[in-house]
Amino acid sequence: MKIGLRGGHSENHKGASSDITGYDEWSQMQELYRNVKTVLEAYGHTVIDCNAYNSSSINDELTQGTSKATNNGVDIFISLHMNAFNGSAQGHECWIFDENRNTIAKDVAKRIAKNFGNHGFKLRPENNGVKGMKQYNKNYHDLKAPIAPAIIVETIFCDSLEDKKIWAPTSWDELARLVVNGIDPNIPLMLNDSKKSKEPSEGYVVTGYLDKQLKNYDGAEVAGAIRYYFKDIDRVYIRSNSIGMWLETQLLPMDKCKEIKELLGSWGKIRC
Ligand SMILES: [Zn+2]
Protein backbone atom coordinates (compact mmCIF):
# COMPACT_ATOMS: atom_id res chain seq x y z
CA MET A 1 0.00 0.00 0.00
CA LYS A 2 1.16 3.53 -0.69
CA ILE A 3 0.41 5.75 2.30
CA GLY A 4 0.58 9.55 2.33
CA LEU A 5 1.55 10.54 5.86
CA ARG A 6 1.71 13.89 7.60
CA GLY A 7 2.74 14.53 11.23
CA GLY A 8 1.10 17.61 12.67
CA HIS A 9 1.40 20.95 10.98
CA SER A 10 4.77 22.44 10.07
CA GLU A 11 7.93 23.91 11.48
CA ASN A 12 6.56 27.41 10.81
CA HIS A 13 3.03 26.74 12.09
CA LYS A 14 3.36 24.30 14.92
CA GLY A 15 -0.30 23.80 15.79
CA ALA A 16 -1.34 23.18 19.40
CA SER A 17 0.91 23.50 22.42
CA SER A 18 0.39 23.42 26.16
CA ASP A 19 2.20 24.68 29.24
CA ILE A 20 0.24 22.19 31.33
CA THR A 21 1.68 19.11 29.65
CA GLY A 22 4.76 20.66 28.07
CA TYR A 23 3.70 19.16 24.75
CA ASP A 24 3.61 20.78 21.37
CA GLU A 25 1.77 19.16 18.52
CA TRP A 26 4.53 19.51 15.95
CA SER A 27 7.29 17.75 17.87
CA GLN A 28 5.00 15.03 19.25
CA MET A 29 3.46 14.32 15.86
CA GLN A 30 6.80 14.38 14.06
CA GLU A 31 8.07 11.70 16.45
CA LEU A 32 4.90 9.69 15.88
CA TYR A 33 5.26 10.26 12.13
CA ARG A 34 8.79 8.80 12.14
CA ASN A 35 7.68 5.75 14.09
CA VAL A 36 4.57 5.12 11.99
CA LYS A 37 6.73 5.37 8.86
CA THR A 38 9.33 2.95 10.28
CA VAL A 39 6.76 0.30 11.16
CA LEU A 40 4.87 0.63 7.86
CA GLU A 41 8.08 0.34 5.84
CA ALA A 42 9.23 -2.64 7.89
CA TYR A 43 6.12 -4.42 6.66
CA GLY A 44 6.69 -3.54 3.01
CA HIS A 45 4.46 -0.47 2.65
CA THR A 46 5.54 2.73 0.90
CA VAL A 47 5.27 5.97 2.84
CA ILE A 48 5.06 9.29 1.02
CA ASP A 49 6.29 12.14 3.21
CA CYS A 50 3.43 14.66 3.15
CA ASN A 51 4.93 17.05 5.70
CA ALA A 52 5.42 20.66 4.73
CA TYR A 53 8.88 21.86 5.66
CA ASN A 54 8.98 25.38 4.25
CA SER A 55 5.46 26.68 4.39
CA SER A 56 4.70 30.36 4.07
CA SER A 57 1.22 30.16 5.62
CA ILE A 58 -1.18 27.68 7.17
CA ASN A 59 -2.96 27.30 3.84
CA ASP A 60 0.31 26.76 2.01
CA GLU A 61 1.31 24.12 4.57
CA LEU A 62 -1.97 22.26 4.11
CA THR A 63 -1.84 22.41 0.33
CA GLN A 64 1.77 21.23 0.19
CA GLY A 65 0.86 18.10 2.14
CA THR A 66 -2.26 17.11 0.26
CA SER A 67 -0.68 17.92 -3.13
CA LYS A 68 2.18 15.54 -2.35
CA ALA A 69 -0.39 12.86 -1.54
CA THR A 70 -2.33 13.39 -4.75
CA ASN A 71 0.73 13.79 -7.00
CA ASN A 72 2.13 10.52 -5.72
CA GLY A 73 -1.14 8.64 -6.20
CA VAL A 74 -1.34 7.40 -2.61
CA ASP A 75 -3.91 4.77 -1.63
CA ILE A 76 -4.73 6.55 1.61
CA PHE A 77 -3.78 9.85 3.25
CA ILE A 78 -3.29 9.93 7.04
CA SER A 79 -2.87 13.22 8.88
CA LEU A 80 -1.69 12.91 12.50
CA HIS A 81 -2.75 15.60 14.97
CA MET A 82 -3.28 16.53 18.58
CA ASN A 83 -6.44 18.21 19.76
CA ALA A 84 -6.44 21.09 22.22
CA PHE A 85 -9.23 22.68 24.19
CA ASN A 86 -9.18 23.86 27.76
CA GLY A 87 -7.18 21.28 29.64
CA SER A 88 -10.29 19.40 30.71
CA ALA A 89 -11.22 17.76 27.41
CA GLN A 90 -9.52 14.46 26.76
CA GLY A 91 -9.46 11.46 24.48
CA HIS A 92 -9.15 10.32 20.93
CA GLU A 93 -11.13 10.80 17.74
CA CYS A 94 -10.80 10.35 13.97
CA TRP A 95 -12.42 12.34 11.18
CA ILE A 96 -13.25 11.41 7.58
CA PHE A 97 -14.91 13.28 4.71
CA ASP A 98 -18.14 11.34 4.34
CA GLU A 99 -19.50 7.85 4.18
CA ASN A 100 -19.84 7.41 0.43
CA ARG A 101 -16.55 8.83 -0.74
CA ASN A 102 -14.47 6.85 1.67
CA THR A 103 -15.49 3.40 2.79
CA ILE A 104 -11.81 2.43 3.15
CA ALA A 105 -11.17 5.56 5.22
CA LYS A 106 -14.08 4.72 7.48
CA ASP A 107 -12.88 1.16 8.09
CA VAL A 108 -9.33 2.32 8.82
CA ALA A 109 -10.54 5.15 11.08
CA LYS A 110 -12.77 2.77 13.02
CA ARG A 111 -9.88 0.42 13.62
CA ILE A 112 -7.55 3.23 14.70
CA ALA A 113 -10.17 4.56 17.14
CA LYS A 114 -10.77 1.07 18.50
CA ASN A 115 -7.04 0.59 19.06
CA PHE A 116 -6.75 3.89 20.95
CA GLY A 117 -9.80 2.93 23.04
CA ASN A 118 -8.40 -0.51 23.86
CA HIS A 119 -5.11 1.08 24.85
CA GLY A 120 -6.97 3.08 27.50
CA PHE A 121 -7.65 6.45 25.87
CA LYS A 122 -11.16 7.77 26.30
CA LEU A 123 -13.02 7.70 23.00
CA ARG A 124 -14.74 10.99 22.22
CA PRO A 125 -18.52 10.95 22.13
CA GLU A 126 -19.88 8.90 19.31
CA ASN A 127 -21.52 10.36 16.28
CA ASN A 128 -23.59 8.17 13.97
CA GLY A 129 -22.80 5.19 16.12
CA VAL A 130 -19.03 4.89 15.96
CA LYS A 131 -17.32 5.69 19.22
CA GLY A 132 -14.04 7.48 18.76
CA MET A 133 -15.12 8.98 15.44
CA LYS A 134 -16.58 12.40 14.87
CA GLN A 135 -16.82 10.88 11.42
CA TYR A 136 -17.71 13.47 8.82
CA ASN A 137 -16.43 16.89 7.93
CA LYS A 138 -16.47 18.16 4.37
CA ASN A 139 -14.71 21.43 5.15
CA TYR A 140 -11.38 20.25 6.52
CA HIS A 141 -8.71 20.67 3.87
CA ASP A 142 -6.96 17.41 4.78
CA LEU A 143 -10.20 15.52 4.13
CA LYS A 144 -11.53 17.23 1.03
CA ALA A 145 -8.36 17.99 -0.96
CA PRO A 146 -6.74 14.57 -1.43
CA ILE A 147 -8.15 12.33 -4.13
CA ALA A 148 -7.34 9.32 -1.94
CA PRO A 149 -9.40 8.33 1.11
CA ALA A 150 -8.23 10.61 3.92
CA ILE A 151 -8.30 10.48 7.70
CA ILE A 152 -7.49 13.08 10.32
CA VAL A 153 -6.30 11.24 13.42
CA GLU A 154 -6.69 13.45 16.49
CA THR A 155 -4.50 11.20 18.62
CA ILE A 156 -5.10 12.82 22.02
CA PHE A 157 -5.47 16.27 23.58
CA CYS A 158 -2.18 18.12 23.70
CA ASP A 159 -3.31 19.92 26.88
CA SER A 160 -4.79 16.98 28.77
CA LEU A 161 -2.88 15.59 31.75
CA GLU A 162 -5.24 12.59 31.71
CA ASP A 163 -4.21 11.74 28.16
CA LYS A 164 -0.56 12.38 28.99
CA LYS A 165 -0.76 9.80 31.81
CA ILE A 166 -1.34 7.12 29.16
CA TRP A 167 0.61 8.67 26.27
CA ALA A 168 3.88 9.42 28.09
CA PRO A 169 4.67 5.93 29.43
CA THR A 170 3.79 4.20 26.13
CA SER A 171 6.72 3.59 23.78
CA TRP A 172 6.71 5.37 20.42
CA ASP A 173 6.68 2.02 18.68
CA GLU A 174 3.57 0.95 20.53
CA LEU A 175 1.82 4.30 19.90
CA ALA A 176 2.74 4.04 16.22
CA ARG A 177 1.24 0.58 16.02
CA LEU A 178 -2.13 1.84 17.25
CA VAL A 179 -2.25 3.79 13.98
CA VAL A 180 -0.42 1.29 11.78
CA ASN A 181 -2.57 -1.68 12.77
CA GLY A 182 -5.60 0.40 11.82
CA ILE A 183 -4.15 0.90 8.33
CA ASP A 184 -3.01 -2.71 7.92
CA PRO A 185 -4.56 -5.09 10.46
CA ASN A 186 -1.92 -7.72 9.60
CA ILE A 187 0.66 -5.59 11.42
CA PRO A 188 0.51 -6.56 15.09
CA LEU A 189 -0.15 -4.14 17.89
CA MET A 190 2.75 -4.00 20.29
CA LEU A 191 0.60 -5.27 23.17
CA ASN A 192 1.47 -8.98 23.18
CA ASP A 193 4.91 -8.66 21.71
CA SER A 194 6.00 -6.08 24.26
CA LYS A 195 4.72 -8.21 27.12
CA LYS A 196 6.75 -11.06 25.74
CA SER A 197 9.88 -9.00 25.38
CA LYS A 198 9.53 -7.65 28.93
CA GLU A 199 9.68 -11.23 30.22
CA PRO A 200 13.28 -12.18 31.02
CA SER A 201 14.78 -14.76 28.68
CA GLU A 202 16.33 -16.74 31.54
CA GLY A 203 15.45 -17.78 35.05
CA TYR A 204 15.86 -20.62 37.53
CA VAL A 205 13.44 -22.87 39.30
CA VAL A 206 13.21 -23.40 43.04
CA THR A 207 11.22 -26.01 44.91
CA GLY A 208 9.39 -25.55 48.18
CA TYR A 209 11.06 -26.75 51.38
CA LEU A 210 12.07 -30.41 51.41
CA ASP A 211 10.35 -32.64 53.93
CA LYS A 212 12.44 -34.72 56.26
CA GLN A 213 11.63 -38.30 55.46
CA LEU A 214 13.33 -40.00 58.41
CA LYS A 215 12.68 -39.57 62.09
CA ASN A 216 15.76 -38.57 64.05
CA TYR A 217 17.67 -37.72 60.87
CA ASP A 218 17.82 -34.18 59.58
CA GLY A 219 18.81 -34.98 55.99
CA ALA A 220 16.37 -35.10 53.10
CA GLU A 221 16.60 -37.64 50.32
CA VAL A 222 16.86 -35.76 47.00
CA ALA A 223 17.94 -38.24 44.33
CA GLY A 224 14.35 -39.25 43.60
CA ALA A 225 13.18 -35.68 43.24
CA ILE A 226 16.14 -34.77 41.04
CA ARG A 227 15.58 -37.80 38.80
CA TYR A 228 11.92 -37.00 38.42
CA TYR A 229 11.78 -33.20 38.14
CA PHE A 230 15.25 -32.25 36.93
CA LYS A 231 16.34 -35.28 34.93
CA ASP A 232 17.94 -33.38 32.02
CA ILE A 233 19.33 -30.45 34.02
CA ASP A 234 23.12 -30.42 34.46
CA ARG A 235 23.31 -28.61 37.77
CA VAL A 236 20.83 -28.69 40.65
CA TYR A 237 21.76 -27.18 44.00
CA ILE A 238 20.58 -27.85 47.54
CA ARG A 239 20.23 -24.59 49.42
CA SER A 240 19.07 -23.82 52.92
CA ASN A 241 18.09 -21.12 55.34
CA SER A 242 16.97 -21.17 58.98
CA ILE A 243 13.66 -22.78 58.02
CA GLY A 244 14.77 -25.58 55.79
CA MET A 245 16.31 -26.81 52.55
CA TRP A 246 15.17 -26.60 48.97
CA LEU A 247 16.38 -27.47 45.49
CA GLU A 248 17.38 -24.85 42.98
CA THR A 249 18.38 -25.21 39.33
CA GLN A 250 21.10 -23.47 37.38
CA LEU A 251 20.03 -20.59 35.11
CA LEU A 252 17.85 -21.94 32.32
CA PRO A 253 16.00 -20.60 29.28
CA MET A 254 12.55 -19.34 30.30
CA ASP A 255 10.78 -22.03 28.27
CA LYS A 256 12.64 -24.73 30.16
CA CYS A 257 11.77 -23.06 33.49
CA LYS A 258 8.11 -23.14 32.54
CA GLU A 259 8.31 -26.80 31.58
CA ILE A 260 9.78 -27.73 34.99
CA LYS A 261 7.36 -25.47 36.84
CA GLU A 262 4.48 -27.26 35.11
CA LEU A 263 5.79 -30.57 36.46
CA LEU A 264 6.35 -29.19 39.96
CA GLY A 265 2.93 -27.56 40.17
CA SER A 266 2.50 -25.52 43.34
CA TRP A 267 5.72 -26.95 44.79
CA GLY A 268 7.82 -24.95 42.31
CA LYS A 269 8.46 -21.31 41.53
CA ILE A 270 10.32 -19.53 38.73
CA ARG A 271 12.75 -16.86 39.87
CA CYS A 272 14.66 -14.38 37.77
ZN1 LIG B 1 -3.57 19.81 14.34
> Measured in angstroms, how far is the CA atom of residue 113 from the centroid of ligand 1?
17
Local confidence pLDDT in tens for the 272 residues of the chain:
999 999 999 888 889 999 999 999 999 999 999 999 999 999 999 999 999 988 888 889 999 999 999 999 999 999 999 999 988 999 999 999 987 777 899 999 999 999 999 999 999 887 767 888 888 889 999 999 999 999 999 999 999 999 999 999 999 999 999 999 999 999 999 745 555 556 788 899 999 998 877 778 878 889 999 999 999 999 999 999 888 889 999 999 999 999 999 999 989 999 98
Per-residue pLDDT, 148: 93
Q: Are the CB atoms for 185 and 108 separated by under 8 Å?
A: no
> Measured in angstroms, how far is the CA atom of residue 7 from the centroid of ligand 1?
9
> Measured in angstroms, how far is the CA atom of residue 100 from the centroid of ligand 1?
25
CA distance 252 to 256: 6
> Measured in angstroms, how far is the CA atom of residue 58 from the centroid of ligand 1?
11
> Measured in angstroms, how far is the CA atom of residue 193 from the centroid of ligand 1?
31
> Measured in angstroms, how far is the CA atom of residue 82 from the centroid of ligand 1?
5
> Measured in angstroms, how far is the CA atom of residue 16 from the centroid of ligand 1?
6
> Measured in angstroms, how far is the CA atom of residue 139 from the centroid of ligand 1?
15
CA distance 168 to 155: 13
> Measured in angstroms, how far is the CA atom of residue 262 from the centroid of ligand 1?
52
Q: What is the pTM of this model?
A: 0.71
> Measured in angstroms, how far is the CA atom of residue 200 from the centroid of ligand 1?
40
> Measured in angstroms, how far is the CA atom of residue 96 from the centroid of ligand 1?
14
Per-residue pLDDT, 102: 72
> Measured in angstroms, how far is the CA atom of residue 29 from the centroid of ligand 1?
9
> Measured in angstroms, how far is the CA atom of residue 71 from the centroid of ligand 1?
23
> Measured in angstroms, how far is the CA atom of residue 61 from the centroid of ligand 1?
12
> Measured in angstroms, how far is the CA atom of residue 79 from the centroid of ligand 1?
9
Query: Residue 4: what residue type?
Result: G
